[in-house]
Amino acid sequence: MTATIIDGKAHALALRTRIASHVANFRAAAGRAPGLAVVLVGEDPASAVYVRNKGKATRDAGMESFEHRLPADTDAATLLALVAQLNADPAVDGILVQLPLPAHIDAGAVLLAIDPDKDVDGFHPVNAGRLAIGADGFVPCTPLGCLMLLQDLHPSLSGMEAVVVGRSNIVGKPMAQLLLQQSCTVTIVHSRTRDVAAHLRRADIVVAAVGIPHFIQGDWIKPGASVIDVGINRTDTGLVGDVDFAAARAVAGAITPVPGGVGPMTIACLIRNTYVSACRREGIEAAL
């Protein structure tokens, strides 16, 4: 068996195109465009590329992009003042502070300062809580994108065995919450799990988000499983995921590549969340 390669780029483009048409209607109804503010502190080259891509995707969708670039030595008070200004700005529907922040800034304090109703990253503790209890809020873009890819493969996820590899606040934990909401049986495995392979061999769905290149071996995958690789690891041989793609591909039913899998969906979901935020703030029903 050779797995279907999930074309994340095509899915992302379709989602962005759909949102762009909804944005056109929003603009006609609200008399303004949805706005996304992106804040970048410092000059990390990878972060600069992401921020540029987000700005382009925002404009392509017919939204306004407000980009704030601050020097690496910016102090916390200055960044918090900018966040407060964006919270108060009626033209701003979404606020994204690019992570990682320089070490001298307490990232948790900055995320806490963002208005939860403009937190299109879904990183604020209020949104983590809303997700945990199934209330409306914002779901982090990467796990949301993974869920959309899985739902395209499996119209019902109910009863499926899902294993999430990794327990971060931005991917692993919210991914597990989303899969639980879809009535999967969810297991989270992590660095202290005794036998990761044994758990994976039972999984109909694998979401890999550990940040270790090629960590997941082909013979850990159940035949026919759906494998979503969130890893973006820069190595000597280029960008690779957390899954040994060549080996897993021979066993899985469907698998995302890196690049061209989850990454583009993350940006498309950011555009989606910003549109949803703008609709909520204007009292317009979001078309999705």
Binding region: 166-168, 232
Q: Decide: residue 149, CB within 10 A, 0-12 exposed, 13-18 middle, 19+ buried.
A: buried
Between the alpha carbon of residue 161 and those of residues 181, 184, 189, the distances in Å are 13, 6, 13
Q: Please identify which residue in the block is written with the tokens 């990183």.
A: 123
Give strand pairing partners of 281.
none
Q: Decide: residue 255, CB within 10 A, 0-12 exposed, 13-18 middle, 19+ buried.
A: buried
245 near ligand GUE, judged by CB under 6 A: no
Q: Cα separation of 123 and 189, whole Å?
A: 21
239 near ligand GUE, judged by CB under 6 A: yes
Closest listed residue to residue 243, CA positions, set 273, 278, 208, 270: 208
- Give yes or no for a contact between 142 and 136, defined as CB atoms under 8 angstroms apart: no
50 near ligand GUE, judged by CB under 6 A: yes
218 near ligand GUE, judged by CB under 6 A: no
Comparing CB distances to ligand GUE, the nearer of 55 and 259 is: 259
Q: How far is the CB of 25 from ligand GUE (least distance, A)?
A: 26
Q: Of residues 140-169, which lie at the interface with ligand GUE (CB under 6 A)?
A: 141
Choosing from 122, 166, 231, 263, the residue that interacts with ligand GUE (CB under 6 A) is 263
Q: Of residues 110-139, which lie at the interface with ligand GUE (CB under 6 A)?
A: 121
241 near ligand GUE, judged by CB under 6 A: no
Residue with nearest beta carbon to ligand GUE: 263
Q: What three-state secondary structure class fits 196?
A: helix
Annotated binding residues for NADP(+), as ranges? Answer: 166-168, 232
Residues annotated as catalytic (active site), given as ranges: 54, 98, 121
Q: Which residues bind ligand GUE (CB under 6 A)?
A: 50, 96-99, 121, 141, 232, 239, 258-260, 263-264, 266-267
